[in-house]
Structure 1
Amino acid sequence: MKGESQMEEMRLMYHKKADGMLYPNLKLPEIQKEDLTQVGKYGMMAAEYLKENERNRYNTLYRLGRLGEKMKEVDEEANNLLETLMRNYLKIHKPKEPSSTMEMWKKREQAKMMAEEVVLKRIVYRFH
């Protein structure tokens, strides 16, 4: 019988209580408190977005102890995309005077602002 083989596979052990009943020895997995201290800027932003807009998903990840892990993944993905987009922007928009510190700083800030807009929309503010 199918039902019996499943029960045999589970191999539940029982213990007897004072009331004479047998109770299964069940152990719930320990839930560790989420550690978001190692999560970067974009991971924290994604966690905050989930908390405010996708509360069920946030609670599920939190209860399963996967929120920190997932937000680290989001942060890593966001930083990789940010680097790529900034690099591409700077290849296309070369400074007229490369020795000018101010011009180089402006170009880098423009690249960062444009890349960050894309990163926020594509990665941070989405359902994870």
Structure 2
Amino acid sequence: MSELHYIQNGDYQIPALILEEQPPQKPLGKYGRMRKTYLKEHRTALYNNLLLTGKLTAHLQEIDEAANGRLEQMIPELAKAAGATEALKARDPMRWVGLMNNCKAQAEEIILTELINN
């Protein structure tokens, strides 16, 4: 924002806030949208600061990419610790699916705590 303009509204002059144009970016993923909702509901000052400085979209993209990368890294580690092997997948597919779902839920809970709701 380079110059501040005001709009007359009754007896008051209200600043006309105009955001700078941002280049188009890829759509937000699940974790970026979750972070945006968290910021809106629980950290309104930070949300408004990021929004007014034009850094909100970049912040949300960064969180989304970090969360997805962390999820891809954590699921194999948790699956190995839980014993969800290819042999189990061939022998008892339903148990394997249950273990993998549990691993994904654990990884997402960690991501929510560390990245989204922080």
Mark yes or no: TM-score above 0.5: yes
Structure 1 pair 82/45, CA: closer, same or farther in 2 (3 Å)? same
Distance apart, 1:73 and its partner CA: 0.3
Q: Which runs of 4+ in 1 moved over 6 A?
A: 33-37
CA distance in 2, matches of 1:30, 1:97: 55
Please say if 1:106 is aligned against 2:98: yes
CA distance in 1, matches of 2:23, 2:96: 40
Structure 2: which 5+ residue stretches go unaligned? 4-17
Distance apart, 1:33 and its partner CA: 6.7
- TM-score normalised by length of structure 1: 0.68
Structure 1 pair 34/124, CA: closer, same or farther in 2 (3 Å)? farther
1:61 to 43, 50, 60: 50
CA distance in 2, matches of 1:87, 1:41: 20
Please say if 1:124 is aligned against 2:116: yes
The alignment covers a number of residue pairs equal to: 100
- TM-score normalised by length of structure 2: 0.73
Structure 1: which 5+ residue stretches go unaligned? 1-26
CA distance in 1, matches of 2:57, 2:47: 11
Question: For the Cα contact (< 8 Å) 1:34–1:67, is it kept in 2?
Answer: no
Between Structure 1 and Structure 2, whose CA radius of gyration is higher?
Answer: 1
What CA RMSD, in Å, does the superposition of the two structures yield over aligned residues? Answer: 2.4
Distance apart, 1:89 and its partner CA: 0.7
CA distance in 1, matches of 2:110, 2:88: 28
Distance apart, 1:111 and its partner CA: 0.4
